[in-house]
Amino acid sequence: MIDELKTLESSARSEISLSSDPKVLQDLKVKYLGRKGLFAAVSARISEVPGEQKRQAGQELNRVKQALEALFTEKESSLGEGASAPDLRTDTTMPSTVSAAGTLHPLTRVVLDITRIFERIGFTLVEGPEVETEHYNFEALNIPLDHPARDGFDTFYLDDGKLLRSQTSPVQIRVMEKTKPPLKIIAPGKVYRPDATDATHSFMFHQVEGLMVDEGVSFAHLKGVLMAFATEFFGPEAKLKFRPHFFPFTEPSAEIDVWSPTRGWLEILGGGMVHPGVLKGVKIDPEKVTGFAFGMGVERLAMLKYGVEDIRHFFDGDLRFLKQF
Amino acid sequence: MKLPVSWLKEYLDVTLAPDKLADILTMSGTKVEEVKGHDADAVIDLEITTNRSDCLSILGLAREISVLTGKKLRLPYKEAGALPKGKTPVIRVEDKKGCPLYTARILEGVRVGSAPEKARRFLEGAGTRAISNAVDATNYVLFEMGHPLHAFDYDKLEGGVIVVRRSRKGEKFIGIDDVEYTLEEGTLVIADASKPVAIAGVIGGKQTEITAATKNILLEAATFDPVSVRRAARRYKIATESGYRFERGVNPATVWAASQRAASLILEWGGGRQTAVNSVSTLPKTPAKKIMLRMSRLETLLGMKVSAPRAMKILTDLGFAAKLSGKDKLVVTATTARRDVAIEADLIEEILRIEGFEKIPVSIPASRYASGQKFDRRPEKVLELKKFLAAQGLNEAMTYSLLSAKMLEDSGFSIEKGRGVHRVVNPVSAEQEYFRPSLLPGLLGAVLFNVHRKASSVKLFESGNCYLEGREATALGLVLYGAYSENWQRKDKAGFYDAKGLAGNALHFLGVPFREEEKDYLQSPFAFGTRLVSPDGERLGDVASLHPRVLAKWDIPHDVFFVEIDLDAVFGAASPARSLKVVPVPKYPSVRRDIAFVVADSVRVRTLEEAMKKAVPGTLRDVQLFDQFTGKNIPQGKRSLAFSLSYQKEDGTFTEDQISALQKRIGDALKEGFGVEFRA
């Protein structure tokens, strides 16, 4: 009997494992454990077992019955999960419950776009202080006191005699004092001018300054670097126009217009060859090395890029504006 | 500077249309803002850079156009010869530095009336109204030659003398603008025997001005120290065409020719005769400086070649005396007509602007890197931090660095002198009078802005510079208001512990070890908070809940949570790239047990955590607070806390008895140390 039971158990096991339909499983259950099932048939013959082996057979009968029952129960429940009808009550169109990611400020993005382009052609990102001295903001840049050249650079003064930088050019001086050529830096930052604030002007705005000083650096290189920037920022059809201009700290100097396919000529940049007096002031010999410098205003570029109509949106903290980025 | 094309044509036969003229002027350095009118009436409006004082005259611009078009320039005046010396009029120059050259001419019997129609038309085109023939003649020469002159009614000059001196404090002067000025000490003035009759180079006086009754005229032609003129113009806020030109520098070499030109116009338009001339000059007689131009240097600087003969032609056309020196050098004589050209680089610019910038090729420079060059990694790291914070669901804001007194005081800062907040001495408005000492006021402004526009959740961060007690520092500010997460499944209000978490995450991201220090924040904008410090105890930042007093001032209806981190301190404290060393994963399973008890509010959770760990050293791997409640069944002044404890052994598992013993040890330590009560 024990052998029969063993055979029964193993065939039940394999049939159960192969079944995938609750109906089929139900039929199997009847086949094995039903009143007229295979198990019943074997157990009915317990009386035929010789006396001494009866106890052992009885124990084995119990064990197999429990095992079979357990197998059926387990299989029923596993089939039962998949057997229920598809849940049509879950509405997948309801809004997601993970908070939207935050945003970077549009000016941060534009500065990032600009500086990344220059970093790719070998410029290193540096920064300088916003609160500056007469020396760094004017004297070292060849803009003497009481000179009409100062007119373009009106500045805020603080009660301790310092001033708020009116351009990012002081960073050039600070870098050149600490580091000797070869130099290739890009310096973004806030600048301040005592202008009335309106839709296109702000007393506080951002500039990006570039400087390269090395042996044999020429105006042709300035053109090359700015061309690379223009085509990356405005697209492959961008063009540049250089107009002679005057900055006290560069000679020759130019205002540089960029042609964008969508907006025509834009006055965006200023630049030129670093004035030999400026180099001498930071103890760099202009006979050994030459350099170029350039600067651009960021807000204007950001307003063009994103279609912002009023510069004040950048600074009022309006989430309806900030969240769009 | 306005250039009437009809006036230009007096000196140059230009055939180009006005807008073509505008183009060539712009592309050679004198930028045209706009062209008004057509053909004969056209007026080209230019923006002249401060270095090109020579272009503040019709003749100066005519010379530029003559170089660019090849047309010949016709000068309306002759070389004037030596400066005169006469007995009258008496000229006393007391400040020679202030006035290196003063010339005067007496014209007698002039009939003051109108200037001819053509001259009046030209003056109007140039932007000034016609007044009388004598005055118009001086203005005519101002615009034509760039020399500001002044005509005095000679009979009204007391003593018939001209004294060029510095004013004394309190002297009164009435200008031709009818304004009475009280002069300071030290303003350069033209005076007669008793009083100032003009602010030198800036504006003439009412009492000596030319009227219909004037018969005799003293015509002044001079140069004045640009700084003195500029200071006076700024100090008394008087902007005139005359002052504008003197500030930028006037050519002393043609002053006398200008005087001659104006005198001839006055006599032509009003009759009369010249009866006396005199001058006082202390102009240095140093020979003109020679500037060496190396064509090789031009090539290095510009990246393009220009031949020496071509360079010489350009410079000669522009009015410089230039000589070839060898095959590729030029010796150029500086001229007082172009004081902006003083060094080799200036000559190179002159050549370039006439040749055209478009002739320079485009080339990408090679990069060389000096070994050992170290640049600050900080800007990159701050950018990474910003992206990290944005990923945490915060929006980046940028607020103004200059604030009003109200914003500062409402935010709990004092603007009293000596308290460290710096004031702008020349603000444009009261809204921008102080430099922010902290990011708090600006961020509160941003919160309020959004609250007014019905925002139910504001989560902002800003990174920017503050200035306090003479030190500029970069700070990171975070502000939370309203809901932290808000959707149909979860609604959490932002809380202090959220702000603390964000601050901690930010510091962790930057690789900065820190701990929290309790602080009472009395006399601050905060109701309560915690200070974040480096392991050495240096302040890294604060996390706080704003005081209701501050919220009331701002009229912000709900709590605001604020973090400010000093990025300078943080970057100073950041440990060099930590090399991560993994802690081995335990071999044996940990055992979790909970513990809950009631304890006095004043006992800090951190203290309890430390005490629990200390009670069973080496076995308690983790203590996590998972619940706090007060209210029903909990006595006042107490709270119920529940912790999840995680026991861990390196070398095996725990038995039930061991765990029970550990739990008991902890329980006893808590009872003994803090009087906690366990629930039944």
Is pLDDT of B373 > 80?
Answer: no
Token code pair at residue B171: 């002297």
Is pLDDT of B371 > 60?
Answer: no
Helix, strand or coil, per DSSP, at residue B431: helix
| Mean pLDDT in residue range B578-600 | 88
Is pLDDT of A83 > 70?
Answer: no
| Mean pLDDT in residue range B408-415 | 94
Q: Residue A26 and residue A75: Cα distance in Å, rounded?
A: 10
Portion 45-84 of A in contact with B at CB < 8 A: none
Superfamily of domain B591-678: Ferrodoxin-fold anticodon-binding domain (3.30.70.380)
Q: Residue A222 and residue A218: Cα distance in Å, rounded?
A: 7
Q: Residue B295 and residue B348: Cα distance in Å, rounded?
A: 9
- Interface ipTM: 0.87
Q: Residue B500 and residue B532: Cα distance in Å, rounded?
A: 9
The pLDDT mean for chain B works out to 93
Per-residue pLDDT tens over the stretch A133-185:
999 999 999 998 888 888 777 899 999 999 999 999 999 999 999 999 999 99
Q: Residue B49 and residue B59: Cα distance in Å, rounded?
A: 17
Going across the sheet that includes B31-36, the strands are B2-4, B43-47, B31-36
Helix, strand or coil, per DSSP, at residue B44: strand
Q: Are B542 and B563 in contact (CB under 8 A)?
A: yes
* CATH topology classification for B378-573: BirA Bifunctional Protein; domain 2 (3.30.930)
Residues of chain A found within 8 Å of residue B440, distances taken between Cβ atoms: none
Per-residue pLDDT tens over the stretch B119-132:
999 999 999 999 99
DSSP A69: H
Token code pair at residue A272: 């030129």
Q: Residue B575 and residue B578: Cα distance in Å, rounded?
A: 7
Q: Which residues contact B483 (CB under 8 A, 6 or more apart)?
A: B456, B457, B491, B492, B493, B494
Q: Is A265 an interface residue toward B (CB < 8 Å)?
A: no
Identify the pLDDT of residue B246: 96
* Cis peptide upstream of residue A148 (ω within 30 degrees of 0): no
> Which residues sit opposite A132 in a β-bridge?
A163
Which of A126, A182, A212 shows the shortest C-beta gap to B376?
A126
Q: Is A100 an interface residue toward B (CB < 8 Å)?
A: yes
Is pLDDT of B136 > 90?
Answer: yes
Is pLDDT of B208 > 60?
Answer: yes
Taking CB atoms and an 8 Å limit, are B425 and A245 in contact across chains? no
Which of the four CATH numbers 3.90.550.10, 3.30.56.10, 3.40.710.10, 3.50.50.60 does domain B290-357 have?
3.30.56.10
| Mean pLDDT in residue range B512-532 | 93
Identify the pLDDT of residue B579: 67
Q: Residue B256 and residue B336: Cα distance in Å, rounded?
A: 14
Residue with tokens 């001229």, as numbered in its chain: B335
Portion of chain B with pLDDT greater than 90, in percent: 85
Per-residue pLDDT tens over the stretch B174-204:
999 999 999 999 999 999 999 999 999 999 9
Q: Is B397 an interface residue toward A (CB < 8 Å)?
A: yes
Is pLDDT of B372 > 80?
Answer: no
- Please report the DSSP string for A230-269 in residue order: HHHHH-TT-EEEEEEEEETTEEEEEEEEEEETTTEEEEEE
Q: Decide whether B2-69 matches B290-357 in CATH topology.
A: yes
| Mean pLDDT in residue range A206-235 | 95
- B90-281 in CATH: which number? 3.50.40.10
Is pLDDT of A38 > 70?
Answer: yes
Q: Are A312 and A199 in contact (CB under 8 A)?
A: yes
Place B377 in a pLDDT band, splitting at 50, 70 and 90. confident
Is pLDDT of A214 > 60?
Answer: yes
Portion 193-252 of B in contact with A at CB < 8 A: 226-227, 230-231, 247-248
For residue A260, the number of C-alpha atoms closer than 13 Å in the C-beta half-sphere is 14
Higher pLDDT, A77 or B611: B611
Identify the pLDDT of residue A100: 85
Portion 118-177 of B in contact with A at CB < 8 A: none
Sheet strands (E) in B319-425:
321-324, 329-333, 395-396, 402-403
Token code pair at residue A258: 């960029």
Residue with tokens 């290095």, as numbered in its chain: B300
Place B575 in a pLDDT band, splitting at 50, 70 and 90. low
Q: Are B95 and B188 in contact (CB under 8 A)?
A: yes
- Closest C-alpha to B594, from B612, B617, B610: B612
Is pLDDT of B370 > 80?
Answer: no
Portion of chain B with pLDDT greater than 70, in percent: 98
Q: Dihedral angle at the C-alpha atoms of B402, B403, B408, B409, nearest 10 degrees? A: 140
Low-confidence winner among B80-89, B262-271, B344-353, B517-526 (lowest mean pLDDT): B80-89
Is pLDDT of B680 > 80?
Answer: no
Per-residue pLDDT tens over the stretch A264-293:
899 999 999 999 999 999 999 999 999 999
> Which residues sit opposite B332 in a β-bridge?
B291, B322
Portion 291-310 of B in contact with A at CB < 8 A: 300-304
Domain spans of chain B, in order of start = 2-69, 90-281, 290-357, 378-573, 591-678
Is pLDDT of B374 > 80?
Answer: no
Secondary-structure percent of chain B, ordered helix, strand, coil, rounded to 5: 35, 25, 40
Is pLDDT of A189 > 80?
Answer: yes
Higher pLDDT, B511 or A169: A169
Place B598 in a pLDDT band, splitting at 50, 70 and 90. very high
Low-confidence winner among A75-84, B132-141, B236-245, B282-291 (lowest mean pLDDT): A75-84
Interface test with A, best of B230, B304, B340, B363 (most A CBs within 10 A): B363
Place A260 in a pLDDT band, splitting at 50, 70 and 90. confident
Per-residue pLDDT tens over the stretch B306-363:
999 999 999 999 999 999 998 899 999 999 999 999 999 999 999 999 999 999 999 9
| Mean pLDDT in residue range A307-311 | 95
Q: Residue B306 and residue B358: Cα distance in Å, rounded?
A: 14
DSSP B362: -
Place B615 in a pLDDT band, splitting at 50, 70 and 90. very high
Which of the four CATH numbers 1.10.150.120, 3.30.56.10, 3.30.210.10, 3.10.300.10 does domain B2-69 have?
3.30.56.10
B398: closest chain A residue by CA: A315
Identify the pLDDT of residue A84: 57
Is pLDDT of A81 > 80?
Answer: no
Min Cα–Cα distance to chain A from B364, Å: 5
H or E element in which residue B503 lies? helix B496-509
Per-residue pLDDT tens over the stretch B40-76:
889 999 999 999 999 999 999 999 999 999 999 999 9
> Which residues sit opposite B390 in a β-bridge?
none
Identify the pLDDT of residue A28: 87
Place A35 in a pLDDT band, splitting at 50, 70 and 90. confident
Taking CB atoms and an 8 Å limit, are B357 and A130 in contact across chains? no
CA A79 to chain centre: 46
* CATH topology classification for A106-322: BirA Bifunctional Protein; domain 2 (3.30.930)
Sheet strands (E) in B30-113:
31-36, 43-47, 90-93, 101-108
Q: Is B186 an interface residue toward A (CB < 8 Å)?
A: no
Q: Are strands B149-153 and B217-223 parallel, antiparallel or unpaired?
A: antiparallel
Inter-CA distances, A14 with A10, A25, B390, Å: 6, 12, 57
Q: Is A160 an interface residue toward B (CB < 8 Å)?
A: yes
H or E element in which residue B457 lies? strand B457-468
| Mean pLDDT in residue range B359-373 | 79
Q: Residue B134 and residue B118: Cα distance in Å, rounded?
A: 15
Is pLDDT of B577 > 70?
Answer: no
Place A91 in a pLDDT band, splitting at 50, 70 and 90. confident
Q: Which residues contact A322 (CB under 8 A, 6 or more apart)?
A: A103, A105, B395, B396, B397, B460
Q: Is A116 an interface residue toward B (CB < 8 Å)?
A: no
Token code pair at residue B451: 């609250």
Rounded to two decimals, what is the model's pTM?
0.84
